[in-house]
């Protein structure tokens, strides 16, 4: 039986720039039973990990992130582009498949002994999630996992994140080769 989540994933060629095969998950968001199944499958590997906070990466880590946090009984912490968060922040720079940027979290968002799960919709090279993990650690918290809806396996973000955070579990609901 085909995976209904994989079937709902849409690939848009040459977006936002030529050569990028963009993974569009909006059909999953638009269907309540697919959305619920996606959050269940994001939750399952971390259900017993003692997660206290899900750190969701702007913008598309905000789609599943709060629902995942709620289902884990955890809080949600947004990692945002610079200048968006109102209180005192810490910042990390990173490079990605199509550009370079930075992320911030509130400096007081992860009080000890926080156990954070880093989440985004898609992992490509892993640079963005690596920056989020550095933020979590600088905030004084432990990174207990990396959680993605889609892994672009050919870009090997998994290996990049293993180098950044040795021994930290990496899970993706769907894998694209």
Rank residues 46 and 149 by Cβ distance to ligand AMP and give the closer one. Answer: 149
* 138 counts as catalytic: no
Least Å distance, CB 48 to ligand AMP, is: 27
Rank residues 93 and 113 by Cβ distance to ligand AMP and give the closer one. Answer: 93
Least Å distance, CB 100 to ligand AMP, is: 10
State the first-to-last Cα distance of the chain, in angstroms, to the nearest integer. Answer: 19
Residues 6+ positions from 157 with CB-CB distance below 8 Å: 123, 124, 125, 126, 127, 129, 151
Query: What does 37-52 look like in DSSP terms, one character per residue?
Result: HHHHHHHGGGTTS---
Rank residues 10 and 111 by Cβ distance to ligand AMP and give the closer one. Answer: 10
Chain length of the chain: 177
Cα 14 to chain centroid distance, Å, stands at 23
* 60 counts as catalytic: yes
Least Å distance, CB 162 to ligand AMP, is: 14
Catalytic residue chosen out of the listed positions 37, 41, 91, 97: 97
Residues within the interface to ligand AMP (CB under 6 A): 20-23, 57, 60, 96-97, 120-128, 152, 157
Catalytic residue positions? 60, 97
């Amino acid at each position: 039986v085909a995976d209904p989540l994989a079937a709902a994933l849409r690939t848009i060629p040459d977006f936002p720039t030529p050569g990028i095969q963009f993974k569009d998950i909006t059909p999953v968001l638009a269907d309540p039973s697919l959305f619920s199944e996606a959050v269940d499958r994001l939750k399952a590997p971390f259900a017993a990990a003692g997660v206290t906070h899900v750190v969701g990466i702007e913008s598309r880590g905000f789609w599943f992130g709060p629902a995942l946090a709620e289902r884990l009984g955890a809080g949600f912490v947004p990692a945002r582009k610079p200048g968006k968060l109102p209180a005192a922040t810490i910042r990390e720079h990173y490079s990605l498949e199509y550009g370079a940027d930075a992320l911030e979290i509130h400096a007081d968002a992860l009080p000890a002994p926080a156990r954070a799960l880093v989440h985004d919709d898609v992992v490509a090279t892993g640079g963005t999630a690596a920056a989020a993990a550095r933020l979590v650690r600088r905030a004084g918290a432990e990174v207990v996992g990396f959680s993605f809806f889609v892994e672009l396996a050919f870009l090997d973000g998994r290996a990049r994140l293993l180098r950044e955070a040795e021994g930290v579990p990496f899970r993706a609901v769907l894998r694209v080769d």
